Amino acid sequence: MSITSTRSIFTAIKRVQRCFPLQLRTAASGNGARTHKFFDFERVANNVFRSVNLSTGIQQSESAAYGGVALAQSLAAAELTTPHEYKPHSIHFFFILSVDTTVPVEYHVTTLKNGKTFCTRSVTAIQNGKVATTMQVSFHLVEPDAIAHQIDFPIVKSADECPDLSETSGELLERISRGKQLGSVSAREVIAMHSQVDTTLFEVRCTDTDSFLGTEEGQKRFFFWVRAKVVLDPSDERIHRWMTAFASDFLPAGVILRPHASNDFIPSMVFSLSHVLHFHHHEIKADDWLLYEVESTRAGSGRGFADGRIWRADGKLLASLSQEILVRTKGTPSRNL
């Protein structure tokens, strides 16, 4: 996520979430599978892929792309140069410049290694002759377990027990306006923003909506149920990984900033610096409910950090992630320790 704002924290988050809805087209296939337009590359040279599909169509910012677009497209470009039997397991992504949605991006893929069990690719996104993002991704040939364990699945409400975030936002805003619900000016801003977001691709449900939207004391750890609203091609596991990567950039920044909303903190700049994603299993269904766990463990020195996990509804840990963002302010610093 790459955003720069001189307005409130909620305006900054709003820009990201306005970028979240995507345009889809129906693929010409017998089973009616849908293909995401962002992965329709033009191959302009050997291992060079051009994308003109960078805008989500409902962008609050005139030209700044949602960072998950470049993340997912970089992964897709890397996979297109790698034998199908090798699966991505480790992704390290750096945001260098904001991606302009009005200018095509070329993804240059470099082969760093083609081994017997591992392949490594470097992906550089070039726009206007400058490096906008970089990625290094490692692929692993699937092999049997030598050891196996995972931490316990968190105890949270099921997706069926959690309301849609945008719908709940509208209801909360109405209660506040009628005096039936307390809410600061900051809380009303973030609630109004969520009530207007049109998430046409992903459905998002928070297990603790009141706290996330600011009507209760801010936390540093949240859980979100997320799933694609369209049925993705079940025969192409790659599109599910790409869309999972796309969605992984949506939540960390908001969770990092959330504990400071009660302090009416106003940032002058918010910009993602790096994003790390580890796939523990290559078979993911992005159109099934996935539980996104995000916790901000540290903020200071102008940066904020969050860890995350992506779980399948039956308790299998599918992926782990981390993100670091730049946060600056021209106003009063916020401390919520």
pLDDT in tens, the chain (337 residues): 544 333 343 343 343 333 333 333 233 333 223 336 889 999 999 999 999 988 764 444 667 888 889 999 999 999 999 999 999 999 999 999 999 999 999 999 999 999 999 999 999 999 999 999 999 999 999 999 999 999 999 999 999 999 877 666 656 665 556 554 555 555 555 555 554 444 557 888 989 876 776 655 668 899 999 998 888 889 999 999 999 999 999 889 888 888 887 777 778 888 899 999 999 999 999 999 999 999 999 999 999 999 999 999 999 999 999 999 999 988 889 887 6
Q: Yes or no: say if 302 and 315 are a contact pair by the CB < 8 Å rule.
A: no
What's the CA gap between 250 and 36, in Å, rounded?
17
Other beta carbons within 10 angstroms of residue 275's beta carbon come to: 26
Q: What is the DSSP letter of 98?
A: P
**Beta carbons within 10 angstroms of residue 63's beta carbon:** 13
- Tokens found for residue 200: 């046409």
Burial class (CB in 10 A: 0-12, 13-18, 19+), 198: exposed
User: What pLDDT, on a 0 to 100 scale, did the predictor assign at position 5?
Assistant: 37
What single-letter amino acid sits at 243? M
- What's the number of CA atoms in the CB half-sphere (13 Å) around residue 238? 20
The three-state secondary structure class of 137 is: strand
How far, in Å, CA of 10 to CA of 190, rounded? Answer: 6
- Residue 308 φ then ψ, to 5°: -150, 160
Give the per-residue pLDDT at 290.
98
How does DSSP assign 99-134, residue by residue?
Answer: PBTTS-EEEEEEEEEE-SSEEEEEEEEEETTEEEEE
How far apart (Å, rounded) are the C-alpha atoms in residues 88 and 101?
Answer: 27
Q: What is d(CA 242, CA 287) in angstroms, rounded to the nearest whole number?
A: 12
The dihedral sign for the CA sequence 9, 13, 14, 16 = positive
Q: Long-range CB contacts (< 8 A, 24+ apart) of 321-324?
A: 321/248, 321/252, 321/275, 321/276, 321/277, 321/278, 322/275, 322/276, 323/249, 323/252, 323/253, 323/256, 323/272, 323/274, 323/275, 323/276, 324/272, 324/273, 324/274
- Specify whether domain 2-144+156-328 bears CATH 2.40.160.210: yes
Domain borders along the chain are 2-144+156-328
